[in-house]
């Protein structure tokens, strides 16, 4: 049994495609519920029939930030196993059942993520990444690809097709247990947008659990598709502020080469 929590911000079309992909998934008798937290003023038009999915809508009425919204949604979750998922994600047919079976079979896993693909089916580098620090994220932002900084940050030295323990998985799709979520205090609400997933992954590793990249389960992520309505300047400023909050919170001024 799985509770899927989705935060929606003015992404009705993408959200409906996401829900449709869940409906079309091969769940192998896995019972699921979906909780959608609407981080906007207007009502969302959901085209999926209510009797097709166990669906709960929570209307916030304003944009309170991703972390706060996802925490509200998780409070309403009925089941122990949780998936947090972006509305601009479409599942491949067996993704949930495959990743759930692996998750259940490995008690040392704190958070598990999947192989994330772009709309053209190419590999999305953000599927897994190392914890950021100043001397790795700044070259990453400045696109110093030739020096290998971006490859190291995104674990491009590892195979995309093999299961690996990683620092962090993509926040567009994460599976974890509610007791782990509670043990780390949930998502840190000081992160309005960006790095809340990295922060969550970091806290989980401090419990002695592993975060796992699981490529046998695949999803398509329409990157930034759910952010078309957010001002570009706001997004950019928020990214840098969230990065700075993460660096200061954990004093990650330098990057350990063996990290």
Name the average pLDDT for the chain. Answer: 87
The gap between the terminal CA atoms of the chain, to the nearest Å, is: 35
253: Cα separation from own chain's centroid = 25
Does any domain span residue 240? yes
**DSSP H stretches of helix in the chain:** 12-23, 66-75, 95-104, 134-141, 149-153, 178-183, 196-205, 232-250
Alpha carbons within 13 angstroms on the beta-carbon side of residue 157 total: 7
Q: pLDDT tier at 233 (50, 70, 90 boundaries)?
A: confident
More confident residue, 108 or 144: 108
What whole-number distance in Å separates Cα of residue 177 and Cα of residue 138?
33
Is 138 within the bounds of a domain?
A: yes
Residue 151's pLDDT is 74
The CATH number that applies at residue 79 is 3.90.550.10
Q: Does the predicted model carry a pTM greater than 0.95?
A: no
The listed range with the strongest mean pLDDT (36-45, 51-60, 76-85) is 76-85
- Reading the block at residue 255, the tokens are 């990057």
Decide if 131 contacts 154 (C-beta within 8 A).
no
Domain-embedded: residue 130: yes
Nearest Cα neighbor of 85 from 179, 17, 180, 133 is: 17
Residue range(s) defining the domain that contains residue 228: 2-250
Is there a domain that residue 255 lies in?
no
For residue 184, tell me if it sits in a domain: yes
For residues 184-203, average pLDDT = 95
- Provide the domain count of the chain: 1
Tokens of 179: 């007791």
Average pLDDT over residues 106-111: 97
């Amino acid at each position: 049994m799985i509770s899927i929590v989705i935060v929606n911000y003015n992404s009705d079309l993408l959200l409906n495609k996401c829900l449709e992909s869940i409906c079309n998934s091969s769940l192998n008798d896995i019972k699921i519920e979906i909780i959608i937290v609407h981080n906007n003023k207007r009502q969302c038009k959901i085209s999926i029939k209510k009797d097709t999915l166990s669906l709960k809508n929570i209307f916030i009425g304003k944009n309170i930030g991703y972390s706060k919204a996802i925490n509200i949604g998780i409070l309403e979750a009925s089941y122990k196993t949780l998936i947090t998922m972006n509305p601009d994600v479409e599942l491949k047919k067996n993704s949930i059942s495959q990743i759930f079976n692996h998750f259940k079979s490995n008690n040392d896993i704190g958070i598990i993520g999947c192989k994330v693909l772009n709309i053209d089916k190419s590999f999305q580098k953000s599927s897994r990444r190392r914890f950021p620090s100043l001397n790795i994220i700044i070259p990453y932002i400045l696109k110093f690809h030739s020096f290998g900084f971006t490859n190291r940050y995104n674990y491009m030295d590892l195979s995309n097709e093999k299961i690996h323990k990683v620092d962090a998985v993509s926040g567009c799709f994460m599976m974890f247990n509610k007791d782990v979520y509670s043990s780390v205090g949930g998502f840190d609400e000081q992160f309005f947008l960006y790095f809340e997933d990295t922060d969550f992954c970091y806290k989980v590793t401090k419990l002695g659990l592993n975060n796992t990249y699981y490529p046998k389960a695949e999803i398509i992520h329409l990157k930034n598709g759910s952010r078309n309505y957010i001002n570009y300047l706001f997004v950019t400023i928020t990214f840098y502020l969230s990065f700075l909050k993460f660096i200061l919170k954990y004093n990650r001024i330098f990057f350990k080469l063996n990290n």
